[in-house]
Structure 1
Amino acid sequence: MNIDIIASMVPMVGLRLGASLILVIVFVALLLGTGVCQKVRCRRRAGQRVLMLGTKPLARWIIEEIGRRRDLGWAVVGVVENVDKLALTLDATRPDRIVVGLAAGVRLPFALLLEARARGIRVEGAVETFERLTGKLALEALPAGSIVYSDAFQPRRRDLVLTRILSLTLAALGLLLCLPLLTLIAVAIKLNSRGPVFFIQERVGRRGRTFRLIKFRTMRPVEGAHSEWERDNSDRITPLGKRLRRYRLDELPQLLNVLRGQMNLVGPRPHPVTNLAELARAARGLHDEAIPYYSMRCAVPPGITGWAQVRYRYANSLEEEMEKVRYDLYYVKHMSVWLDMRILLETVTAVFMGRGLARPVAVSTSGDAAVSRLEAA
């Protein structure tokens, strides 16, 4: 009887393994396709002749960035400080793109710019060009009204559903395939140092909801409040923990958080609850209007990896953490299943090459207040 039952299960197991293999093949194909499309888009943008209209600080930064970024293939063919000279400069330089970076209060030459567009010249603001070149948002230059009334930072339901399906499918498959590895890591942690196998911490999720994030412990436990940045805790990181961190294996248990609906595979990294007030206050200071950028960051589910992780180095100060907010908001603005696949491809590449990714950090509080414990992020 038992033999019959086992025999009847063999086809089911085969079907599941076959389905898993098909999913892996499809996912890899999509990732490679995303990478190819990205290269094609970059080639199409190469060889651009750029005319800069205006010389405000952001415009000057763009000029310098184009000069540094030889990979872009862009060239600044002229800078127009006086809008009355725009017509002559257009005829002399014949640009492919006009970047408008006029100071506040300067009259915008609408007629000439519309005529340029009719001639096939791309016209865009300095804020959009900055975003295109850096993959982050120039928060100080964004008008407060455009943020309040814009739908750009409200992810579409379609994108939320598709990214959730992608995360749920890959998390379930990943957990199934990595189960033997998870078991080996858990045993190794237990044998390597005293303390629990898992590190569990309250984190901030979508719309400010909190959840318990789970990951493999990589540090020796301490009594009481400890903290601040990872550089101050290097003596606590175990030898095994260093290896786990290098290849991001300590994050694998968060696949459970994904299956529970608390996280996606891709999204802004969730910060500890104890750091929320400090981070939110610092984010408000990025704009004269005290815009609550941190709450905008929470408009999408947090992720195991994210745009900030593949685009920015490890943050080891509050200022650097705010720099990552610019990348996080870029992701919120452009959230899509295709961007998720691109981020996953870059993450997998970085992990296999052992380059590692940036980690969210804990923020110390001033005065005598206790500092949150940093077991990484």
Structure 2
Amino acid sequence: MALRHLAETGTIDTIIMATDYKTNRDLFLEAIETTQLGVSIIPMATLYERSFGKIPVEHIDDQWYAALPAEHGQSVTPLYLVWRKSIDLLFGLCGTFLLLLILPLVALLIRLDSPGPIFYSQPRLGYRGRPFLIYKFRSMYIDAEQMGKALWSRKHDVRITRMGRFMRATHLDELPQVINILRGEMSLIGPRPEREEFVVELEQSVPFYRCRLMVTPGLTGWAQVKYHYGNTNRDTLVKLQHDLYYIKHQSITLDIFIMLKTVQEVLLYRGI
């Protein structure tokens, strides 16, 4: 009864439970008994979520339900829904004005840098898996994907043009997505929309990956401001942890924090 002794002597006041009932029944029951002595028990997954702002989907085992956000619409208040709609509309209108303002100059620079179209569109999966076309300023040379095969974008990718590197670093290439926001296909804040080919591939190896589709995808998001750009399954897993945390804890405060961090990333030239 080592735990009980530690609790009785005041040596411990909190137990972090990283095991379950089936793994070590006696230890589990002993830990439960210490609650009568004022000791708090916190599941490891809960502590991890609070400390790092992400959900450890690869370590929750039979507590899988802890990784799943509440059904969208039940976890948010009417006030928050009004807030989301308002910032989407405001940013969509202001972003469209900015897009029209800089379009002549950006279009000229893109065409002078490399031949090809000014805009680039690509199918992505949106809310509940509905496909839509995402719009960007073209940042790569034409025919960047040989034989039409989907390829991850990499750091220092040779397919990216000189103008493209500048636009990606400042996230200027994403500005045409204000059209997607006004059309309701995207929001200002949410998980980044992914290509169907990658979703099908990733959901085979990354637990709960399709849960990202529970909400409308965003131009920026918690994963974007908390984690660097990545193109490996490990990077995808970490970003998913952040995305699920955001879906589970959506709030006006969290949205404001993400917007401020996004502005900081743009001003400090920290894009991919």
State how far apart, in whole Å, the 2-side matches of 1:125 and 1:295 are: 25
TM-aligned CA distance change 1:89 to 1:336, over 3 Å: same
Task: Report the CA distance shift for 1:94/1:154 in structure 2 as closer, same or farther (over 3 A).
Answer: farther
Amino acid of the structure 2 residue aligned with 1:272: R
Q: Secondary structure at the match of 1:282?
A: coil
Using a 3 Å threshold, how does the CA distance of structure 1 residues 128 and 157 change in structure 2: closer, same or farther?
closer
Q: Contact between 2:119 and 2:137, CA under 8 Å: does it hold in 1?
A: yes
Partner of 1:16: none
Rounded Cα–Cα distance in structure 2 between residues aligned with 1:112 and 1:233: 54
RMSD (Å), alpha carbons: 2.7
Q: Where do 1:186-265 residues align within 5 Å?
A: 186-222=107-143, 224-226=147-149, 228-231=151-154, 234-265=157-188
Moved more, 307-316 or 158-167: 158-167
In the aligned structure 1, how far is the partner of 2:237 from the partner of 2:195? Answer: 15
Summarize the alignment of residues 273-312 of structure 1 with structure 2, pairs less than 5 Å apart: 273-283=196-206, 286=207, 293-312=208-227
The share of aligned pairs that are identical, in percent, is: 35
What CA distance in whole angstroms lies between the structure 1 residues aligned with 2:127 and 2:220? 15
What TM-score results when the alignment is normalised by the length of structure 2? Answer: 0.85
* Stretches of structure 1 lacking an aligned partner (at least 5 in a row): 1-83, 287-292, 358-377
In the alignment, structure 1 residue 105 sits paired with structure 2 residue 28: no
Cα distance change, pair 263–96 in 1 and its aligned pair in 2 (3 A): farther
With 218-227 and 122-131 compared, the bigger mean Cα shift is at: 218-227
Partner Cα separation in structure 2 for residue 333 and residue 124 of structure 1: 18
Indicate yes or no: 2:49 matched with 1:131.
yes
Partner of 1:147: 65
- How far is the alpha carbon of 1:281 from its aligned partner? 1.5
Any gaps of 5 or more consecutive residues in structure 2?
none
Structure 1 range deviating more: 269-278 or 87-96: 87-96
Check 1:343–1:85 CA distance in 2 against 1; reply closer, same or farther (3 A cut).
Answer: same
Q: Looking at both structures, which has the greater relative contact order when contacts are Cα pairs under 8 Å and sequence separation is at least 6?
A: 2
- Structure 2: distance between partners of 1:237 and 1:132: 38
Q: What pairs up with 1:158-177 in 2 under 5 angstroms?
A: 158=77, 159-177=80-98
- Over 3 Å counting, the alpha-carbon distance change for 1:160 and 1:300 in structure 2 is farther
| Residue pair 1:280, 1:294 contacting (<8 A) in 2 also | yes
Helix, strand or coil: the match of 2:132?
A: strand
**Residue deviations 1:286-315 (CA, integer Å, cap 9, x gap):** 4xxxxxx12311101101111111111211
1:231 is displaced (CA, Å) by 3.0
- Could you tell me whether the CA contact under 8 Å between 2:121 and 2:135 is conserved in 1? yes
When structure 1 is superposed on structure 2, of 316-325 and 215-224 the one drifting more is 316-325
Residue identity in the other structure for 1:231: R
Q: Could you say what secondary structure the match of 1:202 adopts?
A: strand
Scaled by the length of structure 1, the TM-score of the pair is 0.63
Q: Which residue of 2 aligns with 1:344?
A: 259
Larger radius of gyration: 1
Distance 1:91 1:170, change over 3 A: farther
Confirm or deny: 8 A CA contact 1:167 1:258 kept in the other structure.
Answer: yes
* Aligned structure 1 segments of 4 or more residues deviating by more than 4 angstroms: 91-97, 143-146, 148-151
* Residues 1:320 and 2:215 aligned together: no
* Secondary structure, aligned partner of 2:216: coil
Alpha carbons of structure 1 residues 338 and 96: separation in structure 2 relative to 1, 3 Å: farther
